[in-house]
Chains A and B, each alone.
Chain A
Amino acid sequence: MSNEMAATTRYSQAGDEFLFVELNEEMTLEAFFLSISITQKLRDLALPGIIEICPANASYQVRYNPDVISASQLQNKLEALEQEVDSQQVRTLETRVIEVPVLYRDPWTHETLMRFRDHHQDPSATDLEYAARINGYDTVDSFIEAHSATPWFVSMVGFVAGLPFMYQMVPRERQIQVPKYLRPRTDTPKQTVGIGGCFSVIYSVRGAGGYQMFGVTPMPIYDPANEHPHIDSSMIYFRPGDIVKYRAVEREEYDALLAVAEKGQFKPKISPFTFDLDAFNQDPDGYARRVKEALYEH
């Protein structure tokens, strides 16, 4: 499918307090880059009457007070901001690279996925076996390698508090894609790492979910009780625009990291990074190496 098909921005008034903006019907890195850039500029303007500014994968939404700024005034402003971003010569984003350790094939998501086998497309396989097979990987190990070798872009934070949606930074033909469960589960362990559609997520709280489950991370990402110093007063660790690099760990290291996290001493491996959209588009594989270098040779 071509990008021309849905490349026109669509504005929709959602009730009298929300303006919803779809940048592309499809998920593309360009649409996400536009979403994060426009919403950042809008935040910087600090316009009166703007209440919530929410970037998403290929869209964004603004909550406003129509008694202060009208829907048409707001839309005019957003159109101008989009033009401004479009006309930029350099398309870069100041962000950070974060390592997320993952225990794949862990006992907790395994127990959960077995409990909900009747909600799944393939009750005879685990979520990992199913995902590996339909994405053309011979073994679960090679699938885990594909999931953890490439960087992922945090393209949206939400659903529930602090849950990151991540978009894989590889050419589209190599992106991992899996359907969601046929019917959602009523349970998902906290800090489960999974995939639905083309998005990888980390469940921030225990609860309902429909994404395929691959493992768990010991890294706390939501902190309502203020127990984890690596998370600031917003209580939420991830921000749209963060770049995540998963690292597979064994059970022993997982247990050690979890013990550190439970003492409120978890320190994520993190490095500042300037993302350059055009450099990425020219050489995605080389760019993945640069992201890794930023993390491990910084």
Chain B
Amino acid sequence: MINPDLTVKISSLTLKNPVMTASGTFGFGLEFANLLDLSSLGAVVVKGITLTPRQGNPGPRIVETAAGVLNAIGLENPGVEAFISDILPELLPHAVPIIVNISGNTLDEYGILAARLNETGVSALEVNISCPNVKEGGLVFGTVPEQAAQVVAAVRANTRLPVIVKLSPNVTDIVSISKSVEAAGADAVSLINTLLGMAIDTTKMKPVLGNVFGGLSGPAVKPVALRMVWQVSQAVSIPVIGMGGILSTEDALEFIMAGASAIAVGTGNFVNPQATVEIISGINSYCSEHEVNLKDLVGMAWEAN
């Protein structure tokens, strides 16, 4: 097969390929514009946006652990108004779907954010109900199925854009959360956000991170992420966007075969800022070689089970 079909449909949105960027690891995309062609990506998911600007947590905010990274940035961002007026006009000409990750402290804030981003040219919303590094909102909404559903309903009522819900792995039963956000109107789910963790500096005899706890990402979390993608994708009928430690084509294919319709590169962008484009080309070669389209591979590992 010379040109395999790599397109992915998320509700009304069609991505030219399944490779996206994970929120918080790609800035607003512009920072990468001289390293890769942004328009070659399936979508750019931008840094999490809140209603008002946030300064984030005090440092240290980041520490490397075995095959992973712990971060406690705390959703530092310029706020939705600055995003729309200062950043979006520079980003939209790059002709790549822009997915805006939104976080609220309250249900109302999620609704206002969703409404504000209508008619701005962005392609979809990713609803963050799983940030482990902020005190209010964030993770709280992501760990209780009823609360998660309320957030999704608040967003759904205020937007015509496709709604992706980013799920937390810090739960007992990720399947019940995913079903509850699907029932509330989510068009897709993305998983996983980071796993709550910590590190201690034995010289200073105290936690390394200023926030004490942080979110673990990178290859260390990949087996957990894969397992959750496998479970969720078989339990819901909306597309699953898989992420967690993807650095290579091989990693991406594992997620797709586990049931992910699309994938996102997160921490991998820090290690290899061109990982996304290398993975797109790798998936294309793999599909060509095996004479399959992308959708034939989604969940392929279930059958053998």
A in complex with B: no
Chain A residues within CB distance 8 Å of chain B: none
Chain B residues within CB distance 8 Å of chain A: none
